[in-house]
Amino acid sequence: MEIIQAKLNDLKIDPANVRQTDKAPDEGLLASIRAKGLIYPLTVRKNGDGYYVTDGGKRLAALHVLARDGEFDKTKPVPCVLREDDAAAAADVSLTTNFIRAAMHPVDEFEAFAKLVDGGKTPEAIAKDYGLSPKAVKQSLALGRLAPEVREAWRKGDLDDEEAEAFTLETDLKRQATILKKVGKHTTRWAIRSAILGESGQAAGMLRLVGIEAYKAAGGATTEDLFTHENNPEIIATDLKLLKKLADDKIAATIERLKGEGWKWVSDGSDLPDNARWWDSLPKSQIKADDRARYGVLVHQQHNGEMEIRYGLQKPAERKTAEKKKPGSKAEAAAPSISAALCGRLSEQITTAAETVLALDSNLGLAVIAAALTSDDGPVCIDHDRGEDDNDFAEQFAMFRKKPVDQLIRILAGLAASALDMGGSVQHALPLADDRDEDRVLLEALDAKKLNAALRDSFDAADYFAGVTAQACKEAIALCDPKQPITGKEKKSELAKLAADLAKKSNAGGKAGYLPPEMRTAHYDGPAPAKKVAKAKVAKKAK
């Protein structure tokens, strides 16, 4: 081999060159040759009066592009390594040079860029010399300046590229190292991002609602996500507590303004039942100012940051009352309504009682799991949350294989019980509501005596009577102690306390005492409403 100087017009791509695709030069190669010339000579073999380029086809193509654009002098000699190869040997050389060529590890590359800047080279000069966009240079420098612990974990393969990129959201190198230790080897980009920024999924929407300038004016700090798909980095608020306060303040100010317009009520969507966003509404323009006292307004921040305002709403109880007042209405008196929050607490109490009983019924637990795995709905969701235990499947499998069948069945019954999810925080979603067939069929399949006892243990009488109407308290008092005098002058709070005390007393010592209507299955064995007692007596006499 010898080093020669060849003219550009005397060089042609070798037919033996194995690279048949991706022959065009990229911007990085063009920028490098512009800035530094041809660093690596071409590998060539003789071809009559000229030379075939066996290795260096992309560099040759880049020289022709630069010559065409007037950025390279065609008469300038091109350094080449001349080999005495035939076509077969040339193909072997071409394959070898392409096959063994290995790219730098990303960490080495990005550290090198950081060293260039530390040595005085500007990001603009790097972008020009290496054919990179300003965003790509900014990304490279951020990655090259990650904490040493993060870069080392990336080198070792404990982090992948996307996980390493997530660490650039934190500019404090000590905190980067702390977070790396916290998330461990088996992590995700999402886990790292959450550890840095918090887990609020609404942060971007809140920032759009508040406005970046208002947030900064209040002293809010920001960082940049350099690795978005957009041309410009995403600005991210890092003070979530401040951001939430500013968003809440803006919503509260809107609510106060709307209250001044004379609406019956104005509420933040988070203070209403989950289904409130689907309540019927009316355009504001269709509601006369004199009619505003009949309707409510919902104010809600959407995930995209837009503020949703819906006018002309009526709560279910208001709508029922309005229906009753219509001329000729035959609507029956509605049962005492309870709040969505109380519905949620009752659902939890019923679920707790059911869990207690189901965990002790091995055969029923197996049936529950089989039904859950073969149906699309129901009160059991077999989607085990592993939590923080990080159990290894092989270890768990080995452990369970050693257990006898009866013990495995008890374990499955316990898992079925822990997977119960009954009812909800909406009035019509109570486990024993008319349309909750799935919940009811399971509750009534449980041992009735044990379930009634568990329901009485979980029932919070004081909380319940504080949240229902005075009439509901009076009815409960009459059931628990028919001789208890009621004058009609008692305050609601007095009735609630008396009802709670009597309900607790009726259940004392494991007696079949009072349960509210919302917690009574078909097998309820406590004090029954007067009309049901009367019917029972009539039936007994008929016999």
Of 99, 125, 149, the one marking the end of a domain is 99
Residue 8 pLDDT exceeds 80? yes
* pLDDT given for residue 524 in this prediction: 92
State the pLDDT confidence band at 331, using cuts at 50, 70 and 90: very low
Residue 81's H or E segment, with its range, is: strand 78-82
Per-residue model confidence as pLDDT tens digits over 179-199: 998 888 788 888 888 888 776
Asked whether the predicted pLDDT for residue 386 surpasses 70, the reply is: no
Q: What is the mean pLDDT of residues 155-181?
A: 90
Asked which of 31-45, 390-404, 436-450 is least confident by mean pLDDT, the reply is 390-404
Question: What b/e string do you get for 89-99 counting C-beta neighbours within 10 Å, with b at 16 or more?
Answer: ebbebbeebee
Sheet containing strand 307-313, edge to edge, reads: 265-268, 296-301, 307-313
Residue that is last in its domain, among 64, 99, 134: 99
Asked which of 67, 99, 131 is the last residue of a domain, the reply is 99
The 10s digit of each residue's pLDDT in 483-519 is 998 888 889 899 999 999 999 999 888 888 999 999 9
Find, among 157, 162, 165, 161, the residue nearest to 185 by Cα.
Answer: 157
**Taking 60 as the threshold, does the pLDDT of residue 542 lie above it?**
no
Residue 156: both structure tokens together: 């070792």
Residue 13 DSSP label: E
pLDDT exceeds cutoff 60 at 134:
yes
DSSP labels for 18-76? ---S--SPPHHHHHHHHHH---SPEEEEEETTEEEEEE-HHHHHHHHHHHHTTSS-TTS
Has residue 123 been placed in a domain? no
Q: Residue 149 above 50 pLDDT? A: yes
CA torsion, ordered 287, 289, 290, 295, to nearest 10 deg: 50
Which tokens sit at 513? Answer: 């005492």
90 part of a folded domain: yes
Q: How many other C-beta atoms lie within 10 A of the C-beta of residue 199?
A: 11
pLDDT at 426 (0 to 100):
63
Q: Which H or E run contains 356?
A: helix 340-358
- pLDDT per residue over 216-263, tens digit each? 999 988 888 888 766 677 788 888 889 889 988 999 999 999 999 999
What rounded mean pLDDT belongs to the chain? 84
Q: What is the pLDDT of residue 324?
A: 62
pLDDT at 102 exceeding the cut of 70: no
The predicted pLDDT at position 326 comes to 61
Higher per-residue pLDDT: 374 or 456? 456
**pLDDT-derived band of residue 449, with 50, 70 and 90 as boundaries?**
very high
Task: Name the more confident of 526 and 131.
Answer: 526
How many helices (DSSP H) and strands (DSSP E) are in the chain? Answer: 24, 10
| 72 within domain boundaries | yes
Quick check: is 151 in a domain? no
Examine residue 15 and state whether it is found in any structural domain, yes or no. yes
Q: Provide the pLDDT confidence category of residue 543 given band limits of 50, 70 and 90.
A: very low
Contact 197, 221 (CB under 8 A): no
Question: Model's pTM, two decimal places?
Answer: 0.41
CA distances from 344 to 352, 428, 429 (A): 12, 11, 9
pLDDT band at 334 (very low <50, low <70, confident <90, very high): very low
114 within 8 A of 144, measured Cβ to Cβ = yes
Query: Quick check: is 162 in a domain?
Result: no
Count: domains in the chain: 2
Query: Would you state the pLDDT for residue 337?
Result: 62
Angle at 310 between CA 304 and CA 311, to 5 degrees: 165
Q: What is the dihedral of CA 425, 431, 433, 435, to 10 degrees?
A: 100
Question: Does the pLDDT value for residue 366 go beyond 70?
Answer: yes
- Residue 535's pLDDT is 45
Crossing angle for the helix pair 189-197 and 173-183, to the nearest 10 degrees: 130
Answer whether residue 421 is part of any domain: yes
Residue 387 pLDDT level (bands cut at 50, 70, 90): very low
Instruction: State the pLDDT at residue 538.
Output: 46
Count of beta carbons in the 10 Å neighbourhood of residue 18? 18
Which domain range does residue 27 map to?
Answer: 2-99
What is the pLDDT at residue 445? Answer: 93
Please check whether residue 91 lies inside any domain of the structure: yes
What is the three-class DSSP state of 394?
A: helix
User: What is the CATH number for 88?
Assistant: 3.90.1530.10
Rounded mean pLDDT, 18-23: 80
pLDDT category of residue 383 using cuts at 50, 70 and 90: low
- Higher-pLDDT residue of 439 and 82 is 82
In one-letter notation, the amino acid at residue 426 is V
Contact (Cβ atoms closer than 8 angstroms) between residue 524 and residue 456: no
Amino acid in position 70: G
Tell whether the model's pLDDT for residue 529 goes beyond 80: no
Q: Identify which has the larger pLDDT, 536 or 352.
A: 352
Rg (CA), the chain: 38
If pLDDT is split at 50, 70 and 90, which confidence band does 319 have? confident
The answer on pLDDT for 428 being more than 80 is no
What contacts 24+ positions apart, CB below 8 Å, involve 167-174? 167/192, 167/196, 168/139, 168/142, 168/143, 168/225, 168/226, 168/227, 169/193, 169/196, 169/197, 169/223, 169/224, 169/225, 169/236, 170/196, 170/223, 171/223, 173/146, 173/147, 173/148, 174/147
